[in-house]
Amino acid sequence: MRPETPSFAKVLYTNGYEFTQGTGYTLPEYPFVSPPDLHSNQVLRNAIVIVGGGITGLTLACSLANQGVKAVLLDEDNTVGVKGASSRGICYTQKSLEIFERLGIYKRIAAKGVQWSVGRTFAGKDEVYSFDLSAQSNFNLSAQPPFMNIQQFYIEGFLVERIAELGGVDLRWNSRVTGFEQNDEFATLTVQTPEGTYHIQADHVIDATGSHTPFHAWTGVSMQSTKGDDRWCIADVRFNTHPPVERHTWIEAPFNENRAVWQHLMADDVWRIDYQMAPNADPAYVSREDVVRERLERQFGKEVKVDIVWVGPYAYKSQCVDTLQMGRVYFMGDTAKVVSPFGARGGNTGVSDADNLAWKLGAVLKGWASPALLDSYNVERLEAAQENVRVTNRTARFLRAPEGMERSFRHAAISLAKQYPFARSLINTGRMAVANTYTRSSICADNGGISLQNVSLSWRKGHNGVVNDLLNWAAGRLVLLSFGTSTQAGLRRLRTLTEGTPLRCVQVVDTLTPPQAREHVIDTQHRLRSACQLQGQGWALVRPDGYLAATGHRVDGSLIEAIANTLAL
């Protein structure tokens, strides 16, 4: 009898790296350290085993380490990036940067990366419209910029070093998972290493292995997939000229047979030029060096010297599992969903997936929350995954509008956008990733489920701080922001009510009102209060991932209920 073919096998095309070329980068290499499992007669049990050391798996590992939660991470090779394919994600959103700030690697990213805020969209020879993100008020509250561009492997490398610094997470390189089974009590993984094969048991397995994951077949998870005929070819290059520090997108580029082109900057003066190819183009042909050079010459001219760092053809597809949890296995990053890169909704979503599950695992393992809290990971991040798939699919349709009515409407939208601002909203060259809002999560109140930005505030004596400082101080506990003045009796009442709960209380005052609590911060311009969408007195319950769980006006049973609810108690 033939085994049933899992549904992913049919759609699994390459967005892999078999045709990649270029001089690339020298990536760091990490040593294989013989784990105790290889020298033990027993199979050792771990609370958390993360499989895959990409940006998602490493963010989870770092976020766990930051809370003092132990875990093992297994990665199949000995470096960050993918061998021979050092460029993948390049654009990191404010929410991701806020997470990296909390994990202690933001300063390194900011020092290496490139900030940009101006984007221009062209069709033919004309500019259709441009935008300046720094002028948009929805990005203004955070201490981090709207976006930063940097090669993905840099962030991964920073995470590896930060994890080593924090300790508690065992990063195991050259450790390929080749087998998996699970029962009511634990999961067992088979791990292949240069020194032999061993088994490891886990209470929770996190699959962060990427789009080619074996766990889909091992768990039998069902999924929704679509695969189009759209083909792209990326060229990461260095020039002897310096294009402006802006994102340029062409919907119809005259130098690319009227197909789309992306021009994006990264660290080290490397530019990513992403060319849309003819439908069903042959990946081997379009990524051949002479073909790539000719394409670059058409865009930049013969006189420009081009150094090719990396070339990779892509067939964009979208895929989303129907559930992020199969028994003890949690899917995140590209094992949860695969999207086209439009709007930077791939890696950034993975980072938020990791940050979402990390505090929940921590709270459950420390006995602060009910194990049912882990179910909310699926509810919240599946909503995010589905939303990100929907948004990127719309962009993909706009950019690969077939001849006929779809092309006619796009043509109409472009022609109108040159004349009238309203039509610019129809031009879809990618909707930049945002911190997704959770509308279906039972652990969020109706007024919660939104990401609180990393707002600047002042400590006592005028030292500058940010919301992340409060979250790190709470170390995996909830943070209760209490806005406005209080009486000593009121503070006592708050203390009594919240005693024994994993919670840290902070009074938030403006400069005019003297604080009553020792733990207080100063919010002179009411930025924090407005980020919490509160008016006047009241409280905001903030989760360790910087999301608002609930807000309220009175310190009473409703607060106790909100705390219990947020921890699924």
As a whole number of Å, the CA-based R_g of the chain is: 25
**To 10 degrees, the CA torsion angle through 159, 161, 164, 165?**
-100
Q: Return the H-helix or E-strand segment holding 180.
A: strand 176-182
In the complex, the smallest distance separating the C-beta of residue 422 from another protein, rounded to whole angstroms, is 5
Q: Return the H-helix or E-strand segment holding 132.
A: strand 126-132
In the complex, the smallest distance separating the C-beta of residue 206 from another protein, rounded to whole angstroms, is 38
Query: Which of these segments, 59-67, 84-92, 314-322, 406-414, binds another protein (CB under 8 A)?
Result: 406-414
**Residue from 415, 472, 513, 537 that binds another protein (CB under 8 A)?**
415
Distance (Å, rounded) from C-alpha 363 to C-alpha 203? 15
- Rank residues 296 and 427 by Cβ distance to another protein and give the closer one: 427
Residue 173 neighbours by CB under 8 Å, 6+ apart? 30, 31, 32, 33, 53, 75, 77, 78, 79
**Residue from 416, 491, 497, 564 that binds another protein (CB under 8 A)?**
416
Comparing CA positions, the residue from 85, 139, 86, 98 lying closest to residue 116 is 139
Tokens, residue 492: 């006592």
Tokens, residue 238: 């260095």
- Rank residues 303 and 403 by Cβ distance to another protein and give the closer one: 403
Query: Which of these segments, 211-219, 383-391, 408-416, 560-568, binds another protein (CB under 8 A)?
Result: 408-416
DSSP string, 232-301: EEEEEEEESS---SSEEEEEEEGGGTTEEEEEEE-GGG-EEEEEEEPTT--HHHHTSHHHHHHHHHHHH-
- Rank residues 36 and 421 by Cβ distance to another protein and give the closer one: 421
Tokens, residue 392: 């990127």
- Rank residues 419 and 487 by Cβ distance to another protein and give the closer one: 419
Query: Which of these segments, 163-171, 255-263, 368-376, 404-412, binds another protein (CB under 8 A)?
Result: 404-412
Q: Is 413 in the site for another protein (CB under 8 A)?
A: yes
**Residue from 134, 408, 525, 558 that binds another protein (CB under 8 A)?**
408
Place of tokens 């994006």: 264
Distance (Å, rounded) from C-alpha 190 to C-alpha 188? 7
- Rank residues 121 and 149 by Cβ distance to another protein and give the closer one: 121
Query: Which of these segments, 150-158, 282-290, 385-393, 409-417, binds another protein (CB under 8 A)?
Result: 409-417
Residues 59 and 152 sit within 8 Å (Cβ to Cβ): no
Burial 280-294 (b: 16+ CB within 10 A, else e): ebebeebbbeeebee
Q: Is 401 in the site for another protein (CB under 8 A)?
A: no
- Rank residues 422 and 489 by Cβ distance to another protein and give the closer one: 422
Q: Is 128 in the site for another protein (CB under 8 A)?
A: no
- Rank residues 1 and 405 by Cβ distance to another protein and give the closer one: 405
Residue 545 neighbours by CB under 8 Å, 6+ apart? 99, 352, 355, 356, 358, 359
Q: Is 412 in the site for another protein (CB under 8 A)?
A: yes
- Rank residues 40 and 408 by Cβ distance to another protein and give the closer one: 408
- Applying the rule CB under 8 A, the residues between 216 and 235 that interact with another protein are none
**Residue from 426, 475, 497, 569 that binds another protein (CB under 8 A)?**
426
Count the residues of the shown chain that bind another protein, applying the rule CB under 8 A: 11
**Residue from 411, 463, 495, 554 that binds another protein (CB under 8 A)?**
411
x/- string (CB under 8 A) for another protein, residues 275-314? ----------------------------------------
Q: Is 423 in the site for another protein (CB under 8 A)?
A: yes
Phi and psi angles of residue 458, each rounded to the nearest 5 degrees, phi first? -120, 140
Residues 355 and 59 sit within 8 Å (Cβ to Cβ): yes
Binding site for another protein (CB under 8 A): 408-409, 411-413, 415-416, 420, 422-423, 426
